[in-house]
Chain A
Amino acid sequence: MLALAGVSVAFFALPFAGLIWRAPWSKVTDILSEKSVGTALWLSLETSLITALISCIFGVPLAWLLARVNFPGQSFVRALATLSMVLPPVVGGVALFFSFGRRGLFGQYLNDWFGIRLPFTTAGVVIAQCFVAMPFLVLTVEAAIRQLDSRYEDAARTLGASRLYVFRRITLPSIKPALVAGVALAWARALGEFGATITFAGNLPGTTQTMPLATYLALESDPEAALILSMLMITVSFVVLVGLRDRWLGHQRNDLVS
């Protein structure tokens, strides 16, 4: 077991070790001080955080619905909500065109009635990220709600609490660790999103060019910059993920044991 686990660790660690090894460290400051890098990083953080927030607002109720309410077609809805995890992101991007594009099923009305256009906009980036990232939150939170003893929620209802109140006061505090994990996963997925973004939102510095796009395109023009950009993304994600784990998950775990 330990040996196999060790292989896994090495498998995950080696690519990063490779990046660190080959990164042109002497040029780090030059590359990072370029305005375009800051722009892409800021756009990535901004869009991925908005995605995490939106995933939370819409994903948690969906997770609750899937875990706690029996309705016809439930498994169909669950499959639907997680479909984008298996869909190649580029295909997802094209599907978003067909739905939210200005000629799309829904997007045409947005465009004709409200003059709202999503492709090639920062909002489009968020849409693309939500499409691929939200399932991670939904699945994590749904599993956590499922594992909860629903009788506590029943008890709260007999005390006169509405479904919303029960959710807020009983369900939510109990699934906090899973919620944090789900948000972190969705955020990380959004931060690394490439395929759906470049397809649906396009690629324009300052508007839709997030770090993964900038990194990928820099591979052609300036491979050294691409390496540094990758290192920067890895560092930011690593700090946030480790920080979240220590601060929230570790803390919560102790609470549960006591």
Chain B
Amino acid sequence: MTTHFNFSVTQGDFNLKIDASVNDGEVLAVLGPNGSGKSTLLRLLSGLQQIDTGHISSRNIQWDSPTDDIFVEAQQRRVGVVFQDYLLFKELSAVENVAFGLRAQGVNKATAIEQARALLQQVGLSEHLHKKTPTLSGGQAQRVALARALAIQPHLLLLDEPLAALDVATRQTVRRDLRRYLSSFQGAVVLVTHDPIDAYALADRVLILENGQVMQIGTLNEVTAHPRSRYVADLVGTNLITGHASGVTLTTSTGITVVLADQADGDVFAVIKPQAITIVTSNELTSSARNTWPGVITDIDRSAERCRITLHGPLPLVAEITAAAVESMALRIGDEVFAVVKATEVEVYSR
């Protein structure tokens, strides 16, 4: 069983157009920068907002289809939503929050509370049942929000930046737990995030949303191997070059040439992994590498034994070298250097 959505909606100047689907038991991560339309997508899927054209359906039931004059409102869809800052009802206790959906659908109080209690036990919160939600920690609140969304036994679960509100230390634990809960969830999951780590940890497939358009959709490996936008390349931490190939030469729009190992033709993308770039301080040396570009160091980001060097030049690049190399070459921000790349390290694929 699948949830399909293929629609277009316009708000002012902004147009959101998505064609995708997510199967039961599958987690689709929607990755995109701020303003790419992620939140709007969640509002449309949950029924808080209507699409202009196209349709949204879940398990063969139309939820939104303007041409058929069909719109199932949020309260009638079985969509569980974990909101970005959880939006737990402040006046209610944890267990009352989780029981809210059941009570709203007419389940009697005792049954609803009992079911809510069981759910909270599953997420390890049996000790905090009767706490008012503002007194819960971030991680606890997140689990209450999840339990509340799952209580209505949704067909589709939507997670809006479920970890963004947490501090770094809690985030890892909560992410691990979330992964466990999601793996036992029967329905489809759409996870909206701007953090690629969430996608790595939780998602089966990734949808890259930029400026209201789907840039890429596929498994994580597919998307990271062949980024099709600077946003994805930056997320993955690789160098993406866009240009036109002819024979073994790629020419960028700014006129920089990149020598390739194999023949290519037409409009292409090329990726150069940061680890594949060598930094030299002089281009006088003879080298087997076919590509050498000048650049100025604008940033040195040290993490453990490795450093990421950001180069500003005709072709902006990120290189990754060892900390020891930075030490011995005495590299500093502002130094003028050269980036050297073998043609075999340039991977080309068509646009």
**Which residues of chain A from 118 to 173 have any CB-CB distance to chain B below 8 Å in the complex?**
149, 151-152, 154-163, 165, 169-170, 173
Interface code B246-278, partner A: CB below 8 Å = 1, 0 otherwise?
000000000000000000000000000000000
For B81, list chain A residues within 8 Å (CB). 155, 158
Are B100 and A161 neighbours in the complex by a CB distance under 8 Å? yes
Are B48 and A158 neighbours in the complex by a CB distance under 8 Å? yes
Q: Secondary structure of the B side of the interface? A: mixed
Are B46 and A156 neighbours in the complex by a CB distance under 8 Å? no
Q: What is the CA–CA distance of A170 and B104 in the complex, to the nearest angstrom?
A: 11
Q: What is the CA–CA distance of A161 and B157 in the complex, to the nearest angstrom?
A: 17
For A170, list chain B residues within 8 Å (CB). 89
Q: Secondary structure of the A side of the interface? A: helix
Q: What is the CA–CA distance of A6 and B152 in the complex, to the nearest angstrom?
A: 57
Are A156 and B100 neighbours in the complex by a CB distance under 8 Å? yes
For B89, list chain A residues within 8 Å (CB). 152, 155-156, 170
**Nearest Cβ distance between residue A173 and chain B, in whole angstroms?**
5
Which of A149, A155, A156, A157 neighbours the largest number of chain B CB atoms within 10 Å of its CB? A155
Q: How many residues on chain A are close to B (CB under 8 Å)?
A: 18
**Nearest Cβ distance between residue A178 and chain B, in whole angstroms?**
15
Q: What is the CA–CA distance of A84 and B73 in the complex, to the nearest angstrom?
A: 37
**Nearest Cβ distance between residue A34 and chain B, in whole angstroms?**
49
Which of B46, B87, B149 neighbours the largest number of chain A CB atoms within 10 Å of its CB? B87
Kindly identify which residue among A154, A165, A174 contacts B74, using a CB–CB cutoff of 8 Å.
A154
Are A160 and B83 neighbours in the complex by a CB distance under 8 Å? no
Are A159 and B48 neighbours in the complex by a CB distance under 8 Å? no
Are B104 and A156 neighbours in the complex by a CB distance under 8 Å? yes
Q: What is the CA–CA distance of A157 and B104 in the complex, to the nearest angstrom?
A: 9
For A158, list chain B residues within 8 Å (CB). 46-48, 74-75, 77, 79-81, 149
Are B100 and A169 neighbours in the complex by a CB distance under 8 Å? yes
Are B104 and A160 neighbours in the complex by a CB distance under 8 Å? yes
Are A157 and B48 neighbours in the complex by a CB distance under 8 Å? yes
Q: Check if B148 is an interface residue, CB within 8 A of chain A.
A: yes
Q: What is the CA–CA distance of A226 and B104 in the complex, to the nearest angstrom?
A: 54
Are B46 and A159 neighbours in the complex by a CB distance under 8 Å? no
Instruction: Contacts A154-B48, A154-B74 given; indicate if A159 touches B100 (C-beta within 8 A).
Output: yes
For B151, list chain A residues within 8 Å (CB). 159
Instruction: Contacts A165-B104, A169-B100 given; indicate if A157 touches B91 (C-beta within 8 A).
Output: no
**Nearest Cβ distance between residue B239 and chain A, in whole angstroms?**
39
For B48, list chain A residues within 8 Å (CB). 154, 157-158
**Nearest Cβ distance between residue A14 and chain B, in whole angstroms?**
43
For B104, list chain A residues within 8 Å (CB). 156, 159-162, 165, 169
For B78, list chain A residues within 8 Å (CB). 160
For A154, list chain B residues within 8 Å (CB). 43, 46, 48, 74, 87
Q: Taking CB as reference atom, which chain B residue is nearest A170?
A: B89
**Nearest Cβ distance between residue B71 and chain A, in whole angstroms?**
13
Are A159 and B101 neighbours in the complex by a CB distance under 8 Å? yes
Are B87 and A155 neighbours in the complex by a CB distance under 8 Å? yes
Q: What is the CA–CA distance of A155 and B83 in the complex, to the nearest angstrom?
A: 8
Q: What is the CA–CA distance of A250 and B149 in the complex, to the nearest angstrom?
A: 35
Kindly identify which residue among B73, B91, B148 contacts A159, using a CB–CB cutoff of 8 Å.
B148
**Nearest Cβ distance between residue B87 and chain A, in whole angstroms?**
4
Q: Taking CB as reference atom, which chain B residue is nearest A255?
A: B91
Q: Check if B105 is an interface residue, CB within 8 A of chain A.
A: yes
Q: Taking CB as reference atom, which chain B residue is nearest A162?
A: B75
Q: Taking CB as reference atom, which chain B residue is nearest A155?
A: B87
For A174, list chain B residues within 8 Å (CB). 91
Which of B48, B73, B75 neighbours the largest number of chain A CB atoms within 10 Å of its CB? B75
Q: Taking CB as reference atom, which chain B residue is nearest A165?
A: B104
Q: What is the CA–CA distance of A161 and B91 in the complex, to the nearest angstrom?
A: 17
Q: What is the CA–CA distance of A165 and B46 in the complex, to the nearest angstrom?
A: 18
Are A157 and B87 neighbours in the complex by a CB distance under 8 Å? no
Are B83 and A157 neighbours in the complex by a CB distance under 8 Å? no
Are B74 and A157 neighbours in the complex by a CB distance under 8 Å? yes
Q: What is the CA–CA distance of A161 and B101 in the complex, to the nearest angstrom?
A: 7
Are A157 and B73 neighbours in the complex by a CB distance under 8 Å? yes
For A161, list chain B residues within 8 Å (CB). 75, 100-101, 104
Kindly identify which residue among A149, A160, A169 contacts B75, using a CB–CB cutoff of 8 Å.
A160
**Nearest Cβ distance between residue A176 and chain B, in whole angstroms?**
10
For A169, list chain B residues within 8 Å (CB). 100, 104
Interface code A8-34, partner B: CB below 8 Å = 1, 0 otherwise?
000000000000000000000000000
For B149, list chain A residues within 8 Å (CB). 158-159
Residue contacts A-B, CB under 8 angstroms, 18 given: A151-B83, A154-B43, A154-B46, A155-B83, A156-B89, A156-B100, A158-B74, A158-B77, A159-B75, A159-B80, A159-B104, A159-B148, A159-B149, A159-B152, A160-B76, A160-B105, A161-B101, A169-B100
Further 18 A-B residue pairs, CB within 8 A, beyond A157-B48, A159-B149, A159-B152: A154-B46, A154-B87, A155-B81, A155-B87, A156-B100, A157-B47, A157-B73, A158-B47, A158-B79, A158-B80, A158-B149, A159-B100, A160-B75, A160-B76, A160-B104, A160-B152, A163-B75, A169-B100
Q: What 10 pairs across the A-B complex have the smallest Cβ distances? A: A159-B101, A161-B104, A157-B74, A155-B87, A158-B81, A160-B105, A157-B75, A160-B104, A158-B74, A158-B46
Q: Interface of A with B (CB < 8 Å)?
A: 149, 151-152, 154-163, 165, 169-170, 173-174
